[in-house]
């Protein structure tokens, strides 16, 4: 529908008013809605800007009213926290470290201590002679084993711990050992603080001291007072100073952890239930196997290791020395030509005496050749002749060697161009004969035989043929003479070399003279080849 306003002057104003009315009728609701919306948008902007100022207050208000805010924010915080930890784990770790570190340390220490205690107790009680005795007593009398242990071995046992509010005497928390039944701990607590006051008021100590311990029969009550709470331990037996220290520490911790609750205490002890673990840590049972026994064991342990080591070292030395001694003696006894008659061992020297064949090895050499290092050996060795086959052979070899070298050094000298044995040559031969026959005997003793090589030489003058013949004649002459006195010709080895391998000398004349000769070489074959025989 289109409405045109009429342009007539007479009804122009009235028609304008009508038009306005019509417009309001038609689009009025929409227009006002648009205005509302625009207001709303504007006001929303204002709230957002003001939110920063109002938020803390708003949160405080809402939090005071109910816990909807906490519940609503909970998941968001959890997500944010998770995200934060995921992104910066190091920073998070650093932030909570001061809290976690001590807590973990404490927990570990307590766990370890408890473990060690229980192991100690278990081992000590089950293995010790006392443990066995007490088990027999328990079996005999029908009294339970733990009671027997406590009867005999109890050093002390903290049976109860009272945490008492100082001002009112009201019991804040109470713990007791498993088999200790205490009714009316609250009354006892009140009376205990009343008695504290009574003693204090009666004697009025100058420094404001308090009743700290009192004993009844085998029980002692040890009271430690803090500014707001008392910690009283009921102890059976004799408590050590360390317990007092522990009691003080516990009380300090309680004052620290429950500072507010203690300050504002008005009779509601529920909050002090959290102090139970602290109090329970004071309930300890120490039997002599834990305490005196432990001390004894510790002392023993302290000495055991060094003593054991020293003993082990000494034993080690002794065994080693013993072994060396026995092996040395065995080596000496096995050695040919040595007879041990007397042997004694000192720390710094060995005394060994006996008989010794002069050609046998020195005792020290025998021992060291068996790979044993010995202290100096002193003793007297009487010489004797050993008939040990090896020594007999050795002795024969020795004489063989000396004879061989004697004979080898002898030369039968001839005049120039002659093969006649002159008087000097005959004299030399006569000297050799004795040695040769002894050589035979020695060779036979060492299980072999001897051949004698005769090397005939000439001086270089003259023709080679002449010299060769001359050398041969000279060898013949010596061989013939030796045969004539009974030496088997088959044992003589002829070796006329003439000038082919001359003996050396500096002076030509002397060289010529010594080469006009027949020289000897003993060729001994023995059961054991001797160095001399190989030459």
Contacts of 28 (CB under 8 A, 6+ apart): none
Residue span binding other proteins (CB under 8 A) among the ranges 134-142, 160-168, 337-345, 408-416: 160-168
> Any contact of residue 183 with other proteins (CB under 8 A)?
yes
Query: Which one of residues 131, 169, 363, 496 is an interface residue with other proteins (CB under 8 A)?
Result: 169
Q: Does 449 bind other proteins (CB under 8 A)?
A: no
- How many Å apart are CA 533 and CA 535, to the nearest integer? 6
264 binds other proteins (CB under 8 A): yes
Beta pairing partners, 174: 162
Q: How far is the CB of 106 from other proteins (least distance, A)?
A: 29
How near is the Cβ of 191 to other proteins at its closest, in Å? 5
Give least dist CB 201 to other proteins, A: 6
Closest by CA position to 184, among listed 219, 216, 160: 160
Neighbours of 426 (CB within 10 A): 12
Under rule CB under 8 A, residue 168 binds other proteins: yes
Closer residue to other proteins in complex, CB, 95/259: 259
Nearer of residues 169 and 293 to other proteins, judged by Cβ: 169
Helix 89-127 × helix 68-87 angle, to 10°? 90
How many residues touch other proteins under the rule CB under 8 A: the total is 26
Residue 197 binds to other proteins (criterion: CB under 8 A): yes
4 binds other proteins (CB under 8 A): no
CA 416 to mean position of chain CA atoms? 89
Task: Tell me the backbone φ, ψ of residue 314, rounded to 5 degrees.
Answer: -60, -45
For other proteins, the closer of residues 147 and 268 by Cβ is 268
- Six-digit token pair at 478? 């010596």
- The answer to whether the CB of 511 falls within 8 A of the CB of 503 is yes
State the helix-helix crossing angle for 12-65 and 68-87, rounded to 10 degrees. Answer: 70
Q: Which of 50, 167, 415, 510 binds other proteins (CB under 8 A)?
A: 167
- Asked if 498 contacts 464 with a C-beta cutoff of 8 angstroms, the reply is yes
Our CB check for other proteins shows the closer of 56 and 267 to be: 267
Query: Of 275 and 352, which CB lies nearer to other proteins in the complex structure?
Result: 275
Q: Based on the shown chain and the rule CB under 8 A, indicate whether residue 180 belongs to the binding site for other proteins.
A: no
Segment interacting with other proteins, rule: CB under 8 A, options 98-106, 114-122, 261-269, 430-438: 261-269
Q: Which two tokens stand for residue 522?
A: 């003993």
Using the minimum distance from each CB to other proteins, give the nearer residue, 182 or 469. 182
In 3D space, the residue among 360, 330, 315, 325 whose CA is nearest the CA of residue 345 turns out to be: 325
Nearest Cα residue to 448 out of 499, 378, 484, 401: 401
Nearer to other proteins, 197 or 420 (CB): 197
Q: Kindly identify the residues of this chain, within the stretch 267-306, that bind other proteins according to CB under 8 A.
A: 267-270
Q: Specify the stretch interacting with other proteins by CB under 8 A; choose among 187-195, 367-375, 457-465, 519-527.
A: 187-195
Span from 192-200, 354-362, 380-388, 470-478 in contact with other proteins (CB under 8 A): 192-200
* Contact pick of 194, 299, 314, 529 for other proteins (by CB under 8 A): 194
Nearest distance in Å: CB 158, other proteins: 22
Segment interacting with other proteins (CB under 8 A) among 165-173, 322-330, 335-343, 407-415: 165-173
Select from 184, 252, 415, 420 the one that contacts other proteins (CB under 8 A).
184
Q: What angle do CA 10, 16, 17 make, to 5 degrees?
A: 110
> Of 191, 301, 307, 378, which one interacts with other proteins (CB under 8 A)?
191
Distance CA 459, CA 202 (A): 143
Closer CB to other proteins, 198 or 303, in the complex: 198
Report phi then psi at 313, rounded to 5.
-65, -45
| Nearest C-alpha neighbor of 526 from the set 446, 420, 419, 413 | 446
Indicate which single residue of 201, 241, 465, 504 sits in contact with other proteins (rule: CB under 8 A): 201
- Among residues 229 and 470, whose Cβ is nearest to other proteins? 229
Written as one string, the DSSP assignment of 472-491 is HHHHHHHHHHHHHTT--GGG
**Contact, 533 vs 524, CB < 8 A?**
yes
Nearest CA to 425 out of 469, 480, 506, 503 is that of: 480
| Residue 400 near residue 526, CB atoms below 8 Å | yes
Cα–Cα distance measured from residue 284 to residue 160, given in angstroms and rounded to the nearest whole number: 10
Least gap, CB of 174 to other proteins (angstroms): 11
CB of 45 to other proteins, least distance (A): 46
Distance CA 237, CA 287 (A): 10
Provide the minimum distance between the beta carbon of 187 and other proteins in the complex, in angstroms, as a whole number: 5
Residue 200 binds other proteins (CB under 8 A): yes
Stretch that binds other proteins, among 47-55, 193-201, 372-380, 392-400 (CB under 8 A): 193-201
HEC sequence for 84-101: HHHHCHHHHHHHHHHHHH
Query: Site residues (CB under 8 A) for other proteins?
Result: 165-171, 183-184, 186-188, 190-191, 194-195, 197-198, 200-201, 264, 266-270
């Amino acid at each position: 529908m289109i409405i045109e306003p009429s342009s007539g002057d007479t009804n122009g104003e009235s028609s304008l008013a009508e038009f306005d009315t019509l417009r309001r009728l038609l689009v009025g609701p929409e227009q006002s809605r648009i205005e509302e919306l625009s207001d709303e948008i504007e006001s929303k902007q204002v709230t957002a800007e003001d939110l920063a100022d109002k938020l803390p207050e708003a949160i405080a208000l809402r939090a005071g009213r109910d816990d909807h805010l906490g519940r609503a924010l909970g998941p968001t915080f959890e997500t944010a926290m998770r995200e934060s930890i995921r992104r910066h784990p190091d920073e998070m770790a650093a932030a909570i470290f001061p809290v976690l570190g001590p807590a973990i340390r404490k927990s570990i220490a307590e766990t370890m201590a408890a473990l060690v205690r229980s192991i100690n107790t278990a081992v000590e009680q089950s293995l010790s002679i006392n443990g066995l005795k007490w088990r027999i007593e328990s079996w005999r009398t029908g009294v339970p084993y733990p009671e027997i242990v406590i009867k005999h071995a109890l050093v002390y046992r903290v049976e109860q711990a009272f945490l008492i509010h100082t001002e009112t005497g009201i019991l804040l928390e109470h713990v007791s050992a498993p088999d200790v039944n205490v009714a009316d701990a609250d009354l006892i607590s009140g009376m205990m603080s009343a008695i504290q006051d009574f003693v204090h008021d009666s004697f009025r100590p100058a420094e404001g001291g308090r009743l700290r311990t009192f004993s009844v029969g085998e029980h002692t009550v040890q009271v430690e007072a803090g500014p707001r709470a008392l910690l009283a331990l009921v102890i059976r037996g004799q408590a050590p100073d360390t317990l007092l220290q522990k009691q003080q520490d516990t009380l300090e911790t309680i004052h620290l952890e429950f500072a507010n609750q203690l300050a504002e205490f008005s009779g509601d002890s529920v909050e002090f239930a959290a102090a139970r673990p602290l109090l329970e840590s004071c309930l300890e049972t120490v039997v002599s196997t834990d305490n005196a026994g432990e001390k004894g064991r510790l002392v023993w342990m302290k000495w055991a290791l060094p003593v054991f080591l020293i003993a082990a070292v000494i034993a080690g030395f002794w065994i080693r020395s013993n072994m060396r001694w026995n092996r040395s003696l065995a080596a000496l006894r096995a050695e040919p030509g040595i007879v041990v008659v007397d042997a004694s061992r000192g720390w710094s020297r060995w005394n060994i005496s006996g008989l010794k064949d002069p050609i046998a090895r020195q005792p020290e050499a025998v021992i060291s050749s068996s790979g044993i290092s010995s202290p100096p050996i002193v003793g007297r060795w009487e010489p004797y002749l050993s008939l040990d086959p090896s020594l007999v052979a050795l002795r024969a070899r020795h004489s063989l060697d000396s004879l061989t070298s004697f004979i080898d050094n002898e030369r039968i000298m001839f005049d120039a161009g002659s093969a006649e044995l002159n008087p000097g040559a005959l004299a030399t031969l006569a000297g050799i004969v004795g040695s040769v026959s002894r050589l035979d005997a020695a060779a036979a003793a060492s299980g072999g035989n001897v051949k004698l090589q005769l090397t005939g030489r000439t001086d270089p003058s003259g023709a080679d043929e002449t010299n060769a013949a001359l050398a041969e004649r000279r060898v013949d002459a010596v061989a013939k003479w030796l045969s004539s006195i009974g030496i088997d010709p088959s044992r003589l080895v002829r070796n006329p070399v003439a000038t082919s391998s001359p003996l050396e000398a500096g002076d030509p004349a002397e060289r010529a003279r010594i080469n006009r000769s027949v020289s000897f070489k003993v060729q001994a074959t023995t059961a054991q080849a001797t160095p001399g025989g190989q030459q």
